[in-house]
Amino acid sequence: MATYLQRTLDRLGNDIVSGVLPEGHVVTTQQLEVDLGVSHSVMREAVRVLQTIGMVSSVQRVGVKVLPAESWNYFDPLIISWRLASGSSVAQLRSLSELRTAVEPMAASLAASHGPDELCALLLSLAGELRSVVRSGDYQRFVEIDVEFHATLLAASGNEMFALLRGVLGETVSGRSELGLLPELPDEESLQLHVDLADAIQGRRPGDARNIADRLVCAINDELESTWSGTPRVFPGH
pLDDT digits (tens, 9 = 90+) for 173-200: 766 666 665 556 678 888 999 999 999 9
Q: Give per-residue pLDDT as tens, 9-38.
A: 999 999 999 999 999 999 999 999 999 999
Domain coverage including residue 146 = 86-228
Residue 60 has pLDDT above 90, yes or no: no
- CATH number at 23 reads 1.10.10.10
Residue 7 has pLDDT above 60, yes or no: yes
- Considering the domain architecture, whether residues 57 and 98 belong to the same structural domain is answered as no
- Considering the domain architecture, whether residues 113 and 137 belong to the same structural domain is answered as yes
- Considering the domain architecture, whether residues 39 and 153 belong to the same structural domain is answered as no
- Considering the domain architecture, whether residues 115 and 151 belong to the same structural domain is answered as yes
Residues 109/209, Cβ–Cβ less than 8 Å: yes
- Considering the domain architecture, whether residues 144 and 195 belong to the same structural domain is answered as yes
Residue 8 has pLDDT above 90, yes or no: yes
Residue 152 has pLDDT above 90, yes or no: yes
C-alpha angle 81/232/222, rounded to 5°? 75
- Considering the domain architecture, whether residues 94 and 204 belong to the same structural domain is answered as yes
Kindly report the pTM of this predicted structure.
0.85
